[in-house]
Amino acid sequence: MTLTVIWLIAFAVILFLCLSRWEATVSSALDKLMPSVLRSEDDRWVWSPAIAVLGATAIVRPVDLLLTLVIIGLIVLIGSKLVCWAMRKANFH
């Protein structure tokens, strides 16, 4: 129960900070990271909760978040190697 309360407080604080400082910092940082195809008028209401969830989870359970990122990275690495291998083996004639 305590972890849930801490997570909710961290989520609310990070969400408030993201929404209040959207134009000054968060928007410009996301504009540099995201391609123009993924940007829209409502980025504030999509990215602020996503950043708040990731931030609150990193505060409450940093090891779980780190292990999840490592597993996702390994899956992407193995998938890209398999795709490259399959493209070399494919005969496009």
Instruction: Give me the pLDDT at residue 73, please.
Output: 95
Helix then strand then coil, in percent of the chain rounded to 5, is: 85, 0, 15
Q: What is the pLDDT of residue 23?
A: 84
pTM of the model: 0.70
What does the alpha-carbon distance between residue 36 and residue 30 come to, in Å, rounded to a whole number? 10
Provide the 10 A C-beta neighbour count for residue 63: 7
- pLDDT, mean of each 10-residue run, the chain (93 residues): 93 94 84 79 85 92 91 96 90 70
pLDDT for position 93 = 62
Helix or strand run (H / E) with residue 35: none
Tokens of 81: 């190697």
